[in-house]
Structure 1
Amino acid sequence: MKHLNKLFVALVMLAGFSSQAQDSNNPWAISFGANAVDTRISAASKLEDQLSQFFNAKDNWNITNSVSYLSVSKYVGSNFSFGVTGSVNRITRYVLPRVGEGPYTVVNPGDKNYYAADAVINYSLMNLIKSKTIEPSIHIGGGYTWIGDELHAGTLNGGLGLTYWFTEMIGLSWRSTYKQSFEDVREDMPSHMQHFAGLTFKFGGKDTDGDGIYDKDDACPEVAGLKQFNGCPDTDADGITDAADACPEVAGPAEFNGCPDTDGDGIADKDDACPDVAGLKSLGGCPDTDGDGVTDKSDKCPDVKGPKENGGCPWPDRDGDKVLDKDDKCPDVAGTVANNGCPEVTEEAIKRLNDYAKTILFDSGKASFKQQTYPVLQAITAILKEYPNSNFSIEGHTDSDGTDAANQKLSEDRAAAVKNYLIESGIASSRLASAGFGESKPIDSNKTKAGKANNRRVEVKLVK
């Protein structure tokens, strides 16, 4: 055993630069067990004699009672592996060449120690027979063998092997190797057979995430996953790997990249603004019951069509003039479409205004009103308020008494006085204009007192 220990240390040193593998997942393999040495093959002169007692362990084989070989190997690709084997034995059965047709003679050469160090190139036939447990193989190689202190020589080796794998990494192996000695004289070093039987352990495969898939075959080597996904996880078990799953923690179909569609509207929940209620894609997955383009949750009138600008409700028409309030410049007073919802000033209304205007009385030669005129001005104001979208011009006129310049100024001041009163009574200034025409536009004769009274007047005209 002390020799075996020395041999084991030597093999560990050699393993750093030698290889013989069983597969690519676990590239390293170590084998150990018992070996048997048979010298009869060199003693026989005929092939049939060499093979006739190939397994005659009782008479020809030299076997020790302890672990007597150690092999270290590494896979190099394409079913090839390369490694080194060291073995020890004790030669107590040495087959002498037969004389004529006589029997072979087996002698004890003196309990000589046997040592061998061999390099092995192995080719696996496991793929050829398509088996997952039985691995036949062939091998060639070379090495050096010592028998006792005086016999030693290099050998050319070749043979067959068979391994039965109990598990992926543990197997029972057998190997028979023919060693052709480079020495011509049998007494120096005979060619012989060496048989190996023992256990083989494969190792060296890396599985970082512990999912049973080696890193070299694992698409997700740092995260435990499933074999059918090359080692990648599928947390929600929807058949889509987490890396390709837009919703890795919630199961969903492939058409939505692994995301669910709870309401079945064809929009994944993650993209659906209303995931629990079927809706329209154009509205982010939300429903629109009245079809007005406003989602129900934002529609103030979900059962009645209406514009988005009004919260999904139809625009009101308070005054019922068929002009919507949003477009109606007079939403509380019925009007016409042509006048933007405001009432149009009728000829009758203009006549009423001017009938009142004719009764406006001023202090003589002034723009101040006589007291009895104020009810008239209030009546004019009321009529103008009936037409809030209409504009008017207040025009002043005088008789021919006095100079033209004085009459012009007086007409302008009187028209402006009426305008200012109306503004103070609530008529928007933007709706009113005033002008004076002096004595230039008489409507009656200035030769009579009555005619002059008619010419001193205020007129109200509609500005279109």
Structure 2
Amino acid sequence: MKHLSRFLLASLLVLSFSAVQAQDENNPWAIGIGVNAVDLYPTGEDAPAGGWFDQYFNAADHWNILPAVSRISVGRYIGSGLVFEAAGSVNQISKFGEESLNDLSYYALDGTIKYSLRALLNDGWLDPNIGIGGGYTWLDSEGAATLNGSAGLSFWFTDNVALSLQSTYKHAFKDEAFPHFQHSAGLKFIFGGMDTDGDGIYDKDDECPETPGLPEFNGCPDSDGDGVPDHLDACPNTPGMIEFDGCPDTDGDGIPDPQDECPNEAGTAEFNGCPDSDGDGVPDNKDECPNEAGPAENNGCPYEDRDGDGVLDKDDECPDTPGTVENNGCPEPTAEVVSELNEYSKTVLFDLNKATIRSESEEALESIADIMAEYDNTVFHIEGHTDSTGSDQYNLQLSKERAASVREFLVSKGVPANRLTSEGYGESRPIASNNTSQGRQENRRVEISLDKDKEMRDRSNETQTDTTRTGNN
């Protein structure tokens, strides 16, 4: 026993100077050294024992304590707060409840699974635990297996040293043996820290446990040496500035290179680090005319007017032929041309009360088609009119059909259909008196106008046409 005490004392001194950490998955091993007390009194109803938990803390009368280091344990962290602990203890039994004995020898080997409640207390200095296990106890030459249940407290002085207190109830599986309590107190030392990357910083405290790093960065490396550790460095292989998360700003415009579309030219944040030399709102890297202001829709270049007609090419439907603003930059028939078209249209004749064009009118219509071909961006409107003979409804329908017949003839002569519109107006727009045969003949006519004139009339007279026609009926 004397040599055992010296051995345990030496172990205590060595472990006191060991660099160990709090027991967890990174530091799984623990050694405990202390004393134990055996109490057979508060374990039942039969003499010499008392009732359950009677005089549980009566150490003076019932506890058997060996005045030396009498218990040693080794613990291994399993995971999820669980620790397996193997312990060996020695004692001398001189108090068997209320009876005295002649110093019987006591030996015990125990294995316990313990669950730490420390995490529930925010990993503070107080570490309560509960455990269950089993063992084998010898009282002199008699031995018996036991089922053990324990509760304990550890008080952590540092991350690696704790004062450990524990009380264990041992139930014997042999009639000749006696159930008893074994209490222990001692120091627990934690060691076996894990350092996966070998940088001298335990994984527990290493923010980059699988990559060798530096103490000043909690175990993380700084590959480019810019003072920003790699795991926080947006540009870990290129020296940069802390304010830009370790990235450089080559052109000094306040925009780090990874976000700078023009990293070698100072620019503005509005254009993601690119300049706008001509100030037209289009950055130089997207401006086809970087030194000449122009709109974004024309890629930063000013619009041209190649034919000089006052209509910019972007709006000019005939950019190489001078035209008018009203006709979107394309030439349009003059009043003289429109008058010429209507001179021809006056000669267009129809069969009586029909929309069939007489054959002698075809030459005039072909001349009309030739003139229209010269203005391939102009939309012409064909109007049909009648005299007042007959009902309003009949005259309106006849005028529509006659205007449509002229349109169909012109389309057959090559005038695109989308450049011709037609409408009949019946007797609503006379140009002479319907009281004379001459006047009625003049009113039976086909007129040609520009479509824009029709559109203007449609907008202004859309709600008035029906009223006007009703008034002429």
Work out which of the two has the higher radius of gyration on C-alpha atoms and give 1 or 2. Answer: 1
- Scaled by the length of structure 2, what TM-score is found? 0.48
